[in-house]
Structures are given as C-alpha cells and as structure tokens.
A and B are shown apart, each in its own frame.
Chain A
Amino acid sequence: MRLEMGNFHVKDIVFGDTLSYSNGVLTVNKEELLNYVKEEEPGIITADLRIVRPGDKVRLCPVKEAIEMRCKVSGKSTGIFPGVTSPMAQAGDGRTHALKGCSLIVVGEHMGGFQDGVIDMAGKYQDNTIFGDMVNLVFVADTNEDFERFEQQKKNKALRWGGMKLAEYIGQCVKDLEPEDMEVFDLPPVTERSAEVNALPGVVYVLQPQTQMETMGYNTLIYGWDGNHMLPTFMHPNELLDGCMVSGSFMPTSSKISTYEFAVNPMVKKLMEQHGKTINFLGVIMSTLNVKMNEKDRCAKMLALMASNLGAVGAVVAEEGYGNPDVDYTAALVELEKIGIKTVGISDEATGRDGGSQPLVSMNPMTDALVSTGNVSQLYELEPMEVIGELEALARDGNSGGWEGSIHEDGSVTMENNGMFCCNHISGFSKKTCADF
C-alpha cells in the first residue's frame, strides 16, 4: 500500500478574509470557521479562535485535543478520519495533504475534567509538549452538554468532533496546491518482499491504545470503532499515518496520545525509515488495554502469537497510559519474549512525589529493554501566564494533575506531570526520560 503525504510547512497562521495557504502562511477567516463549526456541532454554544506561537507567554487550559490539519486528495477514503467524520473507508492509500509544523488545539472555554491538560507556549515547560514548539490555531469553546458539565470524566464529544471537522475544513485549502515536499510510505504485503528485505529481522509495532472505559464514548477509536470491543488486529502502518485513529477522552492526559500524534506517529515513521536497512517492518499489531485480567491475558497471548505467525523476531510495544494498563504492557512484552521475540517497550513511569515508588504497576525482569518517556508524578512549578480557557479547571474539575490549591494567587501553578497535555509523548516524540537519583 502506497501513501503520498504532501507537506505544506506552516511558518505562521494569521486571521484574514479568505481561508488560504501561501508561502508558509496559513490565513483563516475566523467568522467563517466559527459559523461552520457551530453549524456542524450544534452542541457548541460559544466559541472563539486564537492563534498562539512558540514563545508567547500563554497557557492553554483545559486542553482536550490536538489535531493535524489535513485533507484527503485521493485514495479510498474521502475524509481524514474515516469511520468518524467521513464514511467508513480504508485509510492509507492515495494522497493526503497536511499542514505541517502546526496544529489545531481544542480548549474548553470553562469546564475541564480528569482527562484534560495544560500547554505552555513559553517558559520552563514550553518544550515539554511538542505543541509548545509549533504555531497553533486554538479552538476554544463551550457546549450545552450539561449531562457531563460537572462530571469528572467527560466525553467532550462536541468539542472533539468540532476540532476534527475544523481541522479537515481548514486542510481543504491546500487540496489543489502543489506540496512543498512529499513523503512516500510504500510498504508491500509481508509475502511480497525482496529476498534482501526478508533476510532482515522482522519487526512489528504493537500499539496498546487506551481502551479501558467500559462505557462507550471515552476510548480511542479505530475507524470509529471503540477499541474496547477489539481483539488484537493486524494493520498496515499507513492506516495510522492516514487518520484511522482518533484519540479518546479518558485517563490522565500526560500519558495520552493525541489524535495529532496517532497520525504523525514518529515511531511508525522511524520503523518505516529503518525498513529495508536494519529491519523488515512487518506492520502494526493494534492491541487494546483492558480492565479485566482475563481480557489482558487474552490480548497479550493473541498479540504474541500474531507476531510469531507473521515471522517477527522483534517487537516495539507502546502503552498509552500507566497504572492499571502497565499490567497489559508488561504482559505483552513478557508473552513476546517467552516465544523468543525480542522486545523494546516505550511508556512512562509513576514513581510518586518522593520518587520512591515502583515505576510500573506490573514488572517482570524479562522486560529488559525499556524506553522511559517521563514520570507522571513529577511536580511542575509553572510561572504565571495569560490563560486561554479557564485555569481554574485544573484545580476545580478533578484534573489528574491538579488539585484544590494547585493555582496560586499570582497565577503560578503547582501541578503533576499527569496534567500536562500529552507531555510524555508515548508516540515517540518525548525528549524526556527518567533516571535513578
């Protein structure tokens, strides 16, 4: 399957009369976009758009989602999120155009929740999220979803869907333009590879997206399907790069993978890059995270056998989450190792405020190659900044990294890593690790 990703490198976003892209500048018409999104998502009652740039002393809170603005030019799918905002179709072939180096960020105007986060565009924590280092169009809005207004766990449906639709609407402005550069992702079926490639060690990427919520509407979606209802499934990496996954609205945000990262997945890209050089990248095993022990066990055993049947001798396992899902993570690594598949795991740790706690809930000495992307319990001290959204949401609405007293009178903040938006970047973007002290 061959996917052409036509890139447009955005240097700046500005407001103007006509939605357009030219010479690195994305121009958006605020009124047009707000009218569009309100019509598409009638649940949205108030909305605004802001532009934030790296170095702006601005704090975004509560952040609910980040999305790359794209459009589908050709291929089986007609939209950038098939099965979600466009009819079900296979993702990963044809041509997709993307506005690179920027994102659309969805922020709650007032209400946050357990799963939402903070992004700082300047200061000590600017580099903690990739979004602090890119120009962002910020969609900040409130909805009439009163059933969950005061709930700690929020589906954030209108805002998340509004964000996806805006990202695609804006992305359309480069549909007919010539891309500035093109990435080609062309990985043939596993049985149709050259002898040289077949001689290289076969490797699978095992992704464990967050799918633990039993109630529907919160979990990561795969082609619009709630991952809670899945068993391990073999997929082509292009499907991920072309928007088959939509991030959920559940669990502490620092361990989440945003929709942006599911599609701009650096781990998939690095594996593709190594394909034919150091490895034979067989493809993606999309697994799940579950709450029941027998479900965890079933998935771990099935994914290991799937890897083995594909002829894998190596596997990268990524866990979107921490705590309870560490059990699924370690189980997957152990089941793979048991049948002789060499694993590397990528996830974050929870070592507690004093650093003295067991970093993963479940540990096994067989997992001897782990990459650590951050510590959810790390305390962060944030300087005061102008806020887009409502900072109180961090302290008031049960955010996983905030608490009553998190926000100080001068606007400075004490919080846990837990509440910084996708900052442990389990997708592979993280430039953090953990060490013994």
Chain B
Amino acid sequence: MTARQMKLGAFLWATGHHIAAWRHPKAHVTAGIDIDHYIQLARTAEAAKFDMVFCEDAAGLREANVGIASQTSRSIGFEPISLLSALAVQTSRIGLVSTASTSYNEPYGLARTFLSLDHLSGGRAGWNLVTSASPIEAANFGSTGLRPHADRYERAREFAEVVARLWHGKLDGASGHDGQSFSVRDPLDLPRSPQGAPVLVQAGASDVGRDLAARTADVVFTAAQTFEEAKAFYDDLKGRLAAYGREPDDIKIMPGVAPVVAETEAEAREKYEELQELIPDDVGVALLSSYLSISDLWRCPIDGPLPELPPSESMQSRQALVIEQSRRDNLSIRQLARHFAGARGHWRIVGTAAQVADELQARFEGGAADGFNVMPSYFPGELDAFATLVVPELQRRGLFRRDYEGRTLRDHLGLKRPV
C-alpha cells in the first residue's frame, strides 16, 4: 500500500487571489473575458496532477461601493458552471469543482446541472455547497433581507438531502420529496453519474456548518492561519463523523493556502512585497470591512487597532479568526487590511519550494490537513510557480502523486463510490 498522499486543489479566481493581482505586470488582466486563459490554467493544473480545479462563486458584485469595486478585478468574470463545462471537454483527468448557493437555486436544477457537468467530464465534477451570506447577492433574488444564519442552514440541509437522493437514484415517482422549502416529484432525467455521484464539498466553519459537513460532505475547505487552529478544526470535524455512521477518512479536509514561492527566499519576499505595495488603502480596508460585516471601519484611524466589534450574523467563524489575529499580532487596521487583502484570511507562506513544502508537510503529517486548496497570488505566473517548484518537491518527498491512478474525481480523492 502506498503511503498517504496529500490532495491538492487549484483555486482559480479572477486575476489571482491577491486583491491587487490584476495590477501586477505579469498578471493576465483580461482573465475574466478570456476562456483560453482558463483552459490553459486547467491544463497547467492537470499536468501537475492536481486533484481538482476549484471555482468559488457569488451571484452578484463583491463590493457595494462602486468606487472600491472598480479598483479590483472581481466585478466581472465567468459564471463557473458554464466555465467548468467548457473546461470539461478541454481536459481529461482533473476534477472540476464549483461553488453554488442553496439560497438562490432549487435542488432539482442544481443536481441536474452538476450531473450534466459530471457526464461531460466523465465523472470529474464536484459541488461546493454554500448558503450565501452577502446582502448584495440577496438583492438580486427579491429578498428584503438576509435569512438568519440558522434558517439558511436548515434550507441547506434539506437542499443537500434532496440533491443526494436525486444523485443516488433514491428519489422516484413513488417517493418524491415534499418538505419545508422544496418539493420534487420525479427522478432526474439523466443517467447515473460515472463516479456514482458528483463530489460534495463544503466550507462552512460554524457549528451548524460543521454538522452539515459531517453529515453529507466528501471534502471540506477551510481557512486556518495557524497549525493549532487547523488541527483543532480537523479533529473537531473528524470527531463528528461517527455520529452519522461515517469513518474519519470519508471526509478530506483541505485548508486554503496562499503561497508565494520563488527560487530563493529573498525573491519570494520581494515578489510578495511587490504585490502588497499595489494594494490601495481604501480597497484593503473595504475588503476587511466586508469580512467583518461592518460598514464603517473606514471611520477608524487606519494606523490604530481594530475596534471592539459586535457578533456577526453572517460569517461568524471567519470574523473570529480575523479578530484573533489582529489581537495576537498587535496589528493596525492598515497592517491587518493588507495582510487579509492578500490572502483573504487564508494561510500565507512566503519562501522557497522547500520551505513551502516543509510547512505543508508539517500540517499534513501533523494531522491538521488531508491536503490543501492552493490559492495562487496572480495568474498564470503563480500557478506555474507552484506547479514547477513546489509540486516536484512534494513528489520527491513522496507526499504527492506523480501521476493520476484513476479517472474520476472520487478516484483522485480516494473517496468511496456511493451505492
């Protein structure tokens, strides 16, 4: 039996995960209207044997302030299901995972669409379930206000249950679904998935989010800055599985990691500083404000500390992470804003391939991760850098595959095929 190996996702987003990525001289600034660029990124990730490419999603702008929004590249881009459907027939092995919301879709349509993506790709599709916390999105769907956190998760639980029954062929004319939020009469009109069912991914980190993941998810994406946070999350979530009759290995936990890698540590630092310098202050503060769900952070002195904040209804767990870091490292609003603008609360590693591999190895072997969702700073350069520098180093250490062994996303992830 081969040793346990880590799973890797290539998280594709706009011109890059760094908020100022699009301004970098080597960033592909027209990414959001260039399908060939995405085909190339997917092929790069596939050649490097990544388990999957991953697209996050929101059905609306990211930033309500149009002046701020116009200084980022995140207001326009491809809708991910159409994007991944195009990538499906331009790649042959890599998994294709997209976010889609349980608040603004219906389970029958979502199950059918992802199953179609699964057929187009020969069993390589996955769905990242989100419940949507943004009031900007809500305003595109006739809502007068966001649903409370618990409500959104109750709808999500019912949604996921119906999708699973449809994918598993367990919903038919005799036993349709008639529930609190949804009613469905018929089975899907598409054949069964080539991998049994598309892979189900989740990212909710709150208590109710963790329970939903423990009940239904195959993969969990998470944000954790320190080893201790990552380990605590990992142990907590794996510990919840037994209650649902599942084994620890039935879920793969993949924290986000935002590496900046170069041949030497000095070069990596220089590359990172170059990106940080490109962040306008008002953009950094606005991004931090939206993570903290407060609208008037700009009123506070930018070189002063973060003010005391009321508990948030929308993103409870991530807010706690941000606050904890600002207190721990004694950061000013400007410093915190730049820090978070760069990696959006995910874990940042700046260094050589060996240094990045050391850090990943420590979390992987220390029982804090089954793999990582890699968030390159800008595209295509930083995905290329990870693929050509870090992946070979991980392979040399026996920590990552040298080639695909199976054909489906479930094969890559080592997940059971549902019956």
Query: Do A and B truly interact?
Result: no
